[in-house]
Amino acid sequence: MIGPTMPQEIEAKFLYTNHDAIRQQLTSLSATCEQPMRLMRRVTFDNAAMKAKNGWLRVRDEGDKVTVTYKQVNQLSADGVREIETTVGSFDDMVAIFRAAELAGGSFQESKRETWRLGEVEVVLDEWPWLAPYIEIEGPSEAAIREVAGQLDLDWAQAKFGDVMVAYRAQYPHLNETDTVGDLPEVRFGAPLPELLQA
């Protein structure tokens, strides 16, 4: 059954972070920078059945690999997101396959990401168009990510859970629960602020 049997993604986001300060703290904790800041591109797809379960497909070029992921947000908590992910050979070919299957969506999105590792926990520094920098902490358990958040002087009470839209909704409070940048044809750095994000 899709949903409960899917692997859990255990993570938390912390918004409005100073990436330079976080880098300094990670370095002082002897964390390892696994991948420096790089441009990532993705295209998202869905259909009525996926939307009904708050799920979607994503093809993402991560710089060193291309992944296809089905993500489903069951609840806004540290372990409320389920996902199935695999690597594929070609970003463009996978996008073409989903388009040929006539899946809805097709939003092209850019972001930038830097990946650090501290023990079993991954800390990523994220940047998205029209959004203040934030970080995401992912690990094997909520206790593990809470511990790293504490080491980085982050207040767990300020943690956010879910996809990138929790960050957009925090920064643009007029957005409702159904508004998503996934409905925009393109989400690119340097592009003008879209009407969706204008109050």
For residues 94-102, average pLDDT: 93
Q: Which residue has the tokens 């934030």?
A: 134
| Per-residue model confidence as pLDDT tens digits over 186-198 | 999 999 999 999 9
| Per-residue model confidence as pLDDT tens digits over 19-73 | 999 999 999 999 999 999 999 999 999 888 998 888 899 999 998 899 999 999 8
Q: For the chain, what is the mean pLDDT?
A: 92
What is the pLDDT, as a whole number, of residue 5? 62
* φ and ψ of 192, to 5 deg: -65, 155
The C-alpha atoms of residue 186 and residue 171 are separated, in whole angstroms, by 19
pTM over 0.85: yes
CATH number of 8-197: 2.40.320.10
